[in-house]
Amino acid sequence: MRQALALAQKSPPKPTNYRVGALLVNAKTNSILASGYTLECEGNTHAEQCCFIKLAEAHKIPEEALAEVLPAETVLYTTVEPCFKRLSGNIPCVKRILRLGNAIKTVYVGVKEPEKFVGENTGRKQLEEAGIRVFLVEGMEKEILEVATAGHKTGDV
């Protein structure tokens, strides 16, 4: 989670999004398959989305086909709970995870998504209903939220 937080710090502070870092990891070998942070890739991209984009490009396949190349023990680490709704019209990160079938079996999150932009995040429930385990990694909430909300007006979250 510390590596994901370091990635989040690379994201430009803006009042309209959270600065998030994410890692796709092969849990069996403890090796990083892809990393990403908010707005790293072109467009209004989220951290998890950037992981998927970069890994798909590396394998020269569409993002939807990533399940074909992901190791059986792939886990996702993300500083903020994956989004279930995008105001920008982009595909939400929860849907991106779900469309990979059972390729990602576990998601570790640093904090639950604050309700500022889209209200209560139902993504965790959707993931769990699909058989994906979601674990809250406790102890870094204050640090993660400070990074995530940099660029927001004081009192916004």
Three-state SS sequence of 127-156: HHHCCCEEEECCCCHHHHHHHHCCCCCCCC
Residue range of the domain that includes 23: 2-148
User: Tell me: the pLDDT tens digits for 46-97?
Assistant: 999 999 999 999 999 999 999 999 999 999 999 999 988 877 778 999 999 9
Q: Structure pTM?
A: 0.90
Strand partners, 22: 36, 78
Assigned domain for 157 exists: no
Residue 44 is part of a domain; what is its CATH number? 3.40.140.10
User: Tell me: the pLDDT tens digits for 106-144?
Assistant: 999 999 866 555 556 688 889 999 999 999 999 999 999
Assigned domain for 156 exists: no
Q: What is the rounded distance in angstroms from the CA atom of residue 6 to the CA atom of residue 3?
A: 5
Q: What is the CA radius of gyration of the chain?
A: 14
Total domain count, the chain = 1
